[in-house]
Amino acid sequence: MNTQCKLEKLHLCGCRITEEQSLILTSALKSNPSHLRNLNLSRNTLGHSGFENLSDLLMNPQFKLEKLDLWRCNITEKWCLILTSALKSNPSHLRELNLSGNKIKNTQVNRLCGILKDSHCKLERLGLSDCEMTDEGCSSVTSALKSNPSHLRELNLSGNELGDTGVKNLCDLLMNTQFKLEKLDLWRCSITEKQCLILTSALKSNPSHLRELNLSENKLGDSGVKNLSDLLMNTQFKMEKLNLWRCSITEEQCFILTSALKSNPSHLRELDLSGNELGDSGVKNLSDLLMNTQFKLEKLDLYRCRITEKQCLILTSTLKSNPSHLRELNLSGNQLGNSGVKNLSDLLMNPQCKMKKLNLCLCSITEKQCLILTSALKSNPSHLRELNLSWNQIKNTGVNHLCDVLKDSHCKLERLSLYKCGITDVSSLTQSLTNTKALQFLKELDLRNNMIGDSKQQLIDVLRDSNCTLSVD
């Protein structure tokens, strides 16, 4: 309530705020509203009085909030009515609104649509994922956006059933040349092959603005993949992030997709093909793409792609030839084999390799393979920030080798995951942490499901150190 307070950003996500506390908080904000620009109350149950006060605040013309995040706030139909009425009366400043994870349903959506249609509404980011919206609700939202399309840049409708009408309306919106959407999230929307065909056709007609597309956990089918590939080949299309996790993509479809990327490689920075079976031809095409010096991929996710040792050898050989851009690599849930681990190690030793995040969970890595990997990391340790070796039987020998990496003064590892690795003794690990600079950097250490026995006490002693900021699971 201090008038000298000029707070602009307040994040209280997951703070278990009660209705009474919410009332006190929103009352305080009402008394000094002019500076706050970013408010995050996610994962709190504000209650009726809290929402009423928040709504009074939103109606205040002095309150110029730009970002409001109410993810998973258990918003009821009545509260949503109060909230949207308030937003309607003062819509011009709000740029980001996240109502994801609330049961918005169709009746509340109609209220929200009134705001979206308002010519004073200049919303740029709208989050409505997992709101239990049906075809009718999604159709209402996309129809409303059609009447005021020019400001929106990010739209998240993930986890809702778009249906035929919702997809049709969304497509009309995407074809509008005034609509300059940059990020579209449609993860787990039960999109059919026919709907995917319509959607990708719409994107083809107005491709120049979209930078991020997430179609994960939808069945694209042959026609959807073909149309998406045509889109990727379009030189006007400058996609930077493409997420196709668990899209039931076949080897043939993967070949078509990667062939398309080969013809227009320069913009893509993040690619997620996790949970799809790439096959020999898909891996070969992806490898050709990775060798292209115009391809500057920074993040590659291939979790559970049934990559064989032979395919891993091809893939890692390719990465070795063009290593300078890659920052994150996820090969979890694949069988790398000796040759794959050896090639990956060669990549990590390359001084041009500036990998920051490496995920090798569930890769059947042995103690011997762990030695090869850690030897490589020792020769080029300064860039890596996150390493996940969980669900591999690296045992105590593997941990001892990791300690050699941690002892290196150039090592700046921040997160180390060793969940269920067959470890029984962490004494060498705790000694490495206490006797080197590693503890200055390491923030998270996951040792769950390891029977570390008596050596656990040594780890507890490290955590008691007043200079220690390490979090251990």
Residue 380 lies in a domain: no
| pLDDT for res 218 | 94
Asked if the structure places residue 177 within a domain, the reply is no
In a domain, 216, yes or no: no
pLDDT along the chain (473 residues), means of 10: 75 88 83 85 87 86 91 85 85 91 79 85 94 87 87 95 90 91 95 91 87 95 91 90 95 91 89 94 91 91 94 89 91 93 92 94 94 92 94 93 87 93 88 71 89 76 63 65
Between CA 256 and CA 276 the distance in angstroms is 14
Question: CA-CA distances (angstroms) from residue 33 to 54, 364, 413?
Answer: 11, 56, 42
Residue 7 belongs to what domain range? Answer: 1-94
CA distance 398 to 423: 9
- Identify whether 357 is part of a domain: no
Is there a contact between 390 and 361 (Cβ–Cβ < 8 Å)? yes
pLDDT, position 114:
84
Whether 61 maps to a domain, the answer reads: yes
| pLDDT score for 129 | 95
pLDDT of res. 113: 86
Task: Give the per-residue pLDDT at 373.
Answer: 94
Q: Give Rg (Cα) of the chain.
A: 25
CATH code where residue 39 lies: 3.80.10.10
Contacts of 466 (CB under 8 A, 6+ apart): none
Task: Count up the domains in the chain and report the number.
Answer: 1
Is residue 184 in a domain? no
The pLDDT assigned to 360 comes to 97
Domain-located, residue 172: no
Residue 40 domain-assigned? yes
